[in-house]
A = this chain, B = another copy of it.
Amino acid sequence: MANRVELTGQILATSGLRFTPAGVATVEMRLAHGSEQNEAGRPRQVVCEVEAIAFGETARKLSQSPVGSQVSLIGFLDRKSPRSSLLTVHVTDYELI
């Protein structure tokens, strides 16, 4: 079942590196995204904020990127928590741009 996101954004806020109770590295971020997309033959200006989270080695590296950094993410969507309808991008790979 497909679930893949590619997104470029600017880091607005970051939790910094933290660890789950099981000792897994994690970082949460809020990103600002802006782009022009083509929809039904018309340009659409997209401006949104996206919550992102990473675990393990990706989290260790991504947590070193300061607020203001432009990052290009690859990952998947999941709900933020079992009772939330908010979606979060789980980052599995990224690069600074």
A34 within 8 A of B: yes
Q: Determine how close the nearest CB of chain B comes to the CB of A59; give it in whole angstroms.
A: 7
Quick one: which of A34, A44, A55, A76 has the most chain B CB within 10 A? A76
How many copies make up the complex? 2
Scan A45-66; emit 1 where CB is below 8 A from any B CB, else 0: 0111110000111110000000
Contact (Cβ within 8 A) A59 B40: yes
Contact (Cβ within 8 A) A39 B92: yes
Separation of A6 and B19 alpha carbons in the complex (Å): 30
Contact (Cβ within 8 A) A49 B85: yes
Q: Determine how close the nearest CB of chain B comes to the CB of A52; give it in whole angstroms.
A: 12
Scan A69-97; emit 1 where CB is below 8 A from any B CB, else 0: 00010001111000001110010100000
Interface residues of A in 8-58 (CB under 8 A from B): 8, 24, 33-35, 37-41, 44, 46-50, 55-58
